Amino acid sequence: MMSRVADSIYWMSRYIERAENVARFVDVNLHLLLDLPEESRDQWGALVATTGDDEAFRTRYGAPTMENVLRFLTFDPENPNSILSCLHAARENARSVREYITSEMWLQLNKFYFMVRTASSAGRETQSSHDFFLDVMMASHQFLGITDATMSHGEGWHFCRMGRMLERADKTSRILDVKYYMLLPSVSDIDTPYDDIHWAALLRSASAFEMYRKRHGRITPENVVRYLLIDPDFPRAVYHCMKKTEESLRAVTGTRTGVFALPIERRIGRLIAGLEAQSVRQIIGSGLHEFIDGVQIRINEVGIAIHETFFAMKPMPAGPAAGSEQ
């Protein structure tokens, strides 16, 4: 597969996953406001921190009010991580590789994009907000289902899955970090009902609440960290996402499990080994924020390595000058 095609499929998938994740944690934050006391409702700045766009937001909007944050994260065309911008970028990437994806995928992505663009014109970020964000999440799920059901599971599909899983791992680690490090309004809230509300909201941000309760029952910080970081079965856990990324990577490179022939394979192998090596108690005891910060750095390094390995333009090897003797 040509690197240009692989690049477009990979980023199409990443942008769709990013749009869904933004919709999910914004919707959860809206519901969180209903459960918290008035003095604990200032969560919108932390929401922008989850996307890593604090500086850009402050420069253009100033105070992180509900209206400002909703506009910035949903329909702001100048924010490259807004839902509208992500879907526009996904659609442009898909347009450039129409012959490599299925018509069903293209139709669903078009429908998805125009639904959000129409909502932007109608100002739905403050009207029927829950319905809008639910529509975004469902449209993303439909695209994923259509992709798995209609696209041959060859190289293109594996690049699609690599993009989706890497983006998902990054966002899960970010929301966990923000909850633990930033969201609590004060230390006095720890081990109170409000603390439980925050941890439940975190699980809902990753669509993990119901499966967590079936697995662990009572909500405890240690079990939440375990479930979202190193659970091998939950599809949004960081460990699960990185294992699926590695599977698709090896399907593309042809390298068998346990062999690390390329720098990208070594990088992702170190990331997975780091998640396997420590217990949750060790992670929390040594500093959850510091551990997640290291995980995010390694996830970014894997993304850079994927670009360098498969997408970056390589210089042509030097050959004899035209007309010279060989």
Mean pLDDT over each residue of the chain, to the nearest integer = 87
> Can you tell me the distance from the alpha carbon of 178 to that of 83, in angstroms, rounded to the nearest whole number?
20
Structure tokens given for 146: 């259509």
Residue 153 burial (CB count, 10 A): 13
Residue 86 burial (CB count, 10 A): 25
Backbone phi and psi for residue 38, each to the nearest 5 degrees, phi listed first: -55, -40
Is the model's pLDDT at 193 over the cut of 70? Answer: no
Q: What mean pLDDT is predicted for residues 265-285?
A: 92
Is the model's pLDDT at 125 over the cut of 70? Answer: no
Structure tokens given for 265: 């394979």
> Can you tell me the distance from the alpha carbon of 178 to that of 29, in angstroms, rounded to the nearest whole number?
13
For the segment 199-240, what is each residue's pLDDT rounded down to a tens digit?
888 898 889 999 999 999 998 888 999 999 999 999 999 999
Q: Which of the residue ranges 47-61, 118-132, 138-152, 202-216 has the most confident prediction, judged by mean pLDDT? A: 138-152
DSSP per position, 190-202: TTSHHHHHHHHHH
Task: Choose among 228, 235, 233: nearest CA to 292.
Answer: 228
For the segment 92-116, what is each residue's pLDDT rounded down to a tens digit?
999 999 999 999 999 999 999 999 9
Higher pLDDT, residue 223 or 316: 223
> Can you tell me the distance from the alpha carbon of 259 to that of 160, in angstroms, rounded to the nearest whole number?
23
323 band by pLDDT with thresholds 50, 70 and 90: very low
Is the model's pLDDT at 308 over the cut of 50? Answer: yes
Is the model's pLDDT at 325 over the cut of 50? Answer: no
DSSP per position, 208-234: -HHHHHHHH-S--HHHHHHHHHT-SSS
Neighbour-count burial for 120-136, b at 16+ CB within 10 Å, e otherwise: beeebbeeebeebbebb
Higher pLDDT, residue 197 or 294: 294
pLDDT of residue 50: 78
**Residues 230/276, Cβ–Cβ less than 8 Å:** yes
